[in-house]
Each structure stands twice: as structure tokens, then as C-alpha cells.
Amino acid sequence: MIKFIARRLMIAVVVMLGVSLISFSLVFFAPGNPAEVIIRAEIGEEPTLEEIEFFFQEHGLKAPFFTQCAQWLYMITHGDLGTSFRTEEPVLVEFIDRFPATLELAVAAMFIAILISIPLGILAAMKQNSVLDHGSRFVALWGVSMPNFWLGLLLILFFSVRLDLFPCFGYGGIEYLILPAITLGTGMTASLMRLMRASMLEVLRQDYIRTARAKGLMERVVIWKHGFKNALIPVVTVMGMQVGHLLAGAVIVETIFAWPGVGKFLVDGIYARDYPVIQGFILIIALFFVLSNLAVDILYTYLDPRIRYDVKKGMK
């Protein structure tokens, strides 16, 4: 088991190294000039050549590629992601400040998604080819096709502007959370529902389900005790991958609802060409993504004893 996790961790480390190289190169070879943008923002007028020169010196942007890259790698492996050009605060601090808001949003969205998709998916599978099943296919396809930025705007238009039920944007109590969480959760709800249905259908045609029925078990027990855990295995995998999609969606949803999370800060960073923020944030997002996949792998072995067995055998 430990060996299995260790191997996964090794892969994760290699991937993260690649990620850091990419995020560094992206910025290094970027055509734009951050100095102009930043200094203009600071002093409110076109910077002189000397000022730009000074900015480059100060931020060590004149060294050759490999020197800078090595420096950067040294920095990030020691927990230093640099300092934001705009706020002059360490990038890591900026991230940690904003992460709870994003986490709150993501957890709420995931909660909505799981709560709706799993029961509906199972129901659709049990009543295959019924009106409910066809309806769920349609709704699910509609849900994954709905642009979340548009959905967000529609929700604001309808529930905030017209009905005045929720605030348009901002951060605060639960009334601020509801619209963004729905916006973020819709796509995930739809895709999990489809997957749950397909997975349950696949499980229901397995031999062991027939065995369970032959014992005289109630259909409810057959579905929940014999089917559910088996059907959940692929769903959990995808749920783990969806964490990344949630983060991606959060970038857009946070921008629309002015939600003070990491996504909005990243977008603002991109507008302002705040390179340390861009580099640092994509690094952390990728790390998060890789770790959540790792967590799924471990959860998977818990859910599926066959894999646990293979892992044990592999160690011998």
C-alpha cells in the first residue's frame, strides 16, 4: 500500500516538475512587458527607460533563461513563490488569504452536485427508457452545455435584479453563496448524473445482481447494497477529476460574482500581467489537481477490494 502511494507520489513529483517548467517558460517567453504595466499603475504615467531598467534589475528579470529558471526552481522548492508585482505581498500569502473563499464555493457546488446527481442518476437507471430517464438525459446534456458564465448572468438577472432575492455579487453570508454555488455546480451535477446512470446500468446487468435477486432480496437492497458501491467506483474517479473543473469554473464564476477567491485574483493577475501571481497560482492549482487525483487513487483502493488485493500482491 505504502509502495503504491509512493509510486503515485513519484509520478506526481515528475508532473509537478514539468508544470513548474511550463509555468516558468510561459512567462519567460511572454511577449508583453510587465514593467510598463506595473509602473504605470504605480506612478500613473508612462515609465521612462531608466525606470523600466530599474524594475528589471530589481526583479532579476535580466538573467539568462537557465539562471532564472534554476533560481525560480530553488525558490519554489523552498516555499517561496515570489512577490506579487501589484500588491508587493508574497504570492503564497495572497493565495492562502483567498483560498478559503474558493474552497467554500467549491464545496457548496460539489454538495449541490452530489445531492442531486446521485439519486437522480440511480433513479434514471432503475427506470431505464422511461420518461424520467429520457428527461434526465436531456436535462443532463443541457446542464453540461450551459455556459456557466451565461447561467451566472441569468441567475443574477432573474433572482437578484428582477426578484431581488439574493445580492448580485460580493461575499458574505449564505445569501451570497447560493447563486455562485448553483452556477458552479450545474455542470458537475449534469455530468455526474449521466455517469451515475451509466454506471448503475452497467452494474445492474452484472451476474452478481442476478445472484442477489435469486436470494429473494428486495429490489431496494439489491440496488443499494449490491449495486451502489460497485456503481460508485467510476463516479468517484470522475468526481476527483471534477475538482479541477471546479477550480476552472471557479475562475469564471468568481469573476462574475466578484467572489474574492483565488480564481478572481488569478484573472486580475492576468489582466495586470502580474507574472509571479500567474506562475505561483497555476503551480498551486496544478498541485491541487495532482493531489486530488492522488486522493482518488487511494479512495479507489478502499472502494474496490480487487485493487487493494492487487496492490498487496504487487508488494510481495
Partner 1 sequence: MTLLSIQNLKVHFHTEDGAVRAVNDVDLVIEEGETLGLIGETGCGKTVLGLSILRLLSENTKVEGKILYKGKDLLKLNEGEMRKIRGKEIAMIFQNPLTSMNPVLTIGTQISEPFELHQGLKKKDAIQKVIAILKLVRIPSPSERINEYPHEFSGGMRQRAMIAMGLACEPSLILADEPTKGLDVTIQAQVVDLMKELTTNSKTSMLLITHDLGVAAELCDNIAVMYPGEIVEYADIKELFKNPKHPYTQGFLGSLPGRGLKPMNGMSPSLIDLPEGCKFHPRCPFARERCKNKRPEMVEIGKKHFVRCFLYD
Partner 2 sequence: MMSIVQQLKKDKIAMIGAVIILFLAGIAILAPHITPYDPIELDLENRLSSSDVNHLMGTDNLGRDVLSRVIYGARISLSMATVVVVIVMLLGIAMGTIAGYLGGIIDGTIMRVVDVLLAFPNIILALVIAGILGPSLTNVMIALSAIWWVGYARIIRGSVLSVKEKEFVEAARAMGCSDTHIAIRHILPNVLSPVIVLATLDMGHIILSIAALSFLGLGAQPPIPEWGTMLNEGRPFMETAPHLMIFPGLMIMVVVLAFNFLGDGLRDALDPRMKEVMMK
Q: What is the 3-state secondary structure (H, E, C) of 160-183?
A: HHHCCCCCCCCCCCHHHHHHHHHH
Name the DSSP class of 130: S
- Cell output for 272: 495586470
Q: Is residue 16 within the footprint of partner 2 (CB under 8 A)?
A: yes
Q: How many residues bind partner 1 (CB under 8 A)?
A: 22
172 binds partner 1 (CB under 8 A): no
Asked if 31 touches partner 2 (CB under 8 A), the answer is: yes
211 binds, among partner 2, partner 1, none (CB under 5 to 8 A by kind): partner 1
Name the grid cell of 316: 510481495
Q: How far is the CB of 312 from partner 2 (least distance, A)?
A: 26
User: Which of 147, 225, 306, 309 contacts partner 2 by CB under 8 A?
Assistant: 147
Q: Looking only at residues 155 through 214 of this chain, which bind partner 2 when binding is defined by CB under 8 A?
A: 156-157, 161, 202, 205, 209-210, 213
Q: How far apart are CA 1 and CA 220, in angstroms?
A: 34
Touching partner 1, residues 26-55 (CB under 8 A) = none
Rounded Cα distance between 113 and 245, Å, is 13
For residue 12, count CB atoms less than 10 angstroms from its CB and return exposed for 0-12, middle for 13-18, buried for 19 or more. middle
Q: What DSSP character marks residue 260?
A: -
Stretch that binds partner 1, among 109-117, 216-224, 236-244, 289-297 (CB under 8 A): 216-224
Whole-Å CA distances, 280 to 7, 142, 218, 312: 26, 35, 54, 38
**Positions in 228-247 near partner 1 (CB under 8 A):** 229-230
Continuous H helices in 127-173:
131-145, 148-155
- Nearest approach in angstroms of CB 267 to partner 2 is 6
Residue 91 binds partner 2 (CB under 8 A): no
Distance (Å, rounded) from C-alpha 292 to C-alpha 298? 10
Q: Which is nearer to partner 2, 74 or 150 (CB)?
A: 150
d(CA 274, CA 82): 11
248 binds, among partner 2, partner 1, none (CB under 5 to 8 A by kind): partner 2
For 59, the enclosing helix (H) or strand (E) is: none
Residues that bind partner 1 in the complex, under the rule CB under 8 A: 206-208, 210-219, 225-226, 229-230, 303-306, 309
Residues that bind partner 2 in the complex, under the rule CB under 8 A: 11, 14-16, 18-19, 22-23, 26-27, 30-32, 137-138, 141-142, 144-150, 153-154, 156-157, 161, 202, 205, 209-210, 213, 244-245, 247-248, 251-252, 255, 266-267, 270-271, 273, 278, 282, 285-286, 289-290
